[in-house]
Amino acid sequence: MLVSRVLPDPPRLDALASSETISLFLDFDGTLVDLAERPDAISVAEGLHTRLEKLSDRLGGRLALVSGRAVPDLDRHIGQPKVARAGSHGLAMTMADGGPIGPEPAALAPDVVRLFRDFAASRKLLLEEKPHGLALHFRMAPLLEDEAADFARNLANEHGLEIKTGKSVVELVARGANKGAAVHAFMQLSPFAGSRPIFVGDDMTDEDGFSAAAGIGGFGVLVGERHPTAAAYRLADPAAVHEWLGL
């Protein structure tokens, strides 16, 4: 359920982890790294790779990154940590050893890619081409938000796809791409099964993760501000997330 109220800080992570068996699901952009003007302009804290691996060890391997980025893109930015990962808004999942979970998702049809490229070029919008999706970024052209969203929505309807709306971005993805579905899938597997899930994220797409975690007896932690939200707790920004996680 989405609620509108002032959210408290989450309980201390070490207190939670010592009193019960928890799993952590962490969004990436806006949660582990500050947002930047462009997808490639993010600045990743030194040693994040190793610190995430140590956190995962402390949790018995029950740590997963759940991002809208594709897994290879995440790996390009943070190395290839021995941490479970879900990319492309949950469509593509790997265990900590890099082994894939489920079949490789399909790429979008070439016709759709071509139409997106043409639209982005005609409006001078940044197009991020991903293995399983297309993201139109309007952070540097905010006046084009509605036009970009309408274009993506119409194309999604015509081609049986769906859109994800995030911070200054609208993305076209296959139906079923959903961070909540990724949480449910991980929670069926060892070492996550039977634990209490906690999902930490900043964006609209993270609401599915918050709801999924809450539905399995856990909770969500919203990074930044949004009302309403399905999260139960809040942290101010990625720096506060790092502090809470003890990274």
Ligand X SMILES: O=P(O)(O)OC[C@H]1O[C@H](O[C@H]2O[C@H](CO)[C@@H](O)[C@H](O)[C@H]2O)[C@H](O)[C@@H](O)[C@@H]1O
Note whether 67 and 177 are within 8 A (CB). Answer: no
In the list 55, 59, 156, 169, the residue contacting ligand X (rule: CB under 6 A) is 169
For residue 27, state whether it binds ligand X (rule: CB under 6 A).
yes
Nearest to 44 by CA among 28, 63, 25: 28
Note whether 237 and 223 are within 8 A (CB). Answer: yes
CB of 120 to ligand X, least distance (A): 14
- Gap between the Cα atoms of 95 and 137, Å rounded: 30
For residue 39, state whether it binds ligand X (rule: CB under 6 A).
yes
And the tokens for 44?
A: 């990743």
CB nearer to ligand X: give 6 or 236. 236
- Gap between the Cα atoms of 66 and 75, Å rounded: 12
CB nearer to ligand X: give 137 or 234. 137
- Gap between the Cα atoms of 105 and 108, Å rounded: 10
In the list 30, 105, 218, 220, the residue contacting ligand X (rule: CB under 6 A) is 30
Note whether 132 and 88 are within 8 A (CB). Answer: yes
Residue 203 is among the residues annotated as catalytic for this protein: no
In the list 54, 58, 123, 139, the residue contacting ligand X (rule: CB under 6 A) is 139
Q: In the window 77-136, what residues touch ligand X (CB under 6 A)?
A: 128, 135
Chain residues binding ligand X by CB under 6 A are 27-30, 35-39, 42, 67-69, 128, 135, 137, 139, 166-169, 171, 203, 205
Active site residues: 27
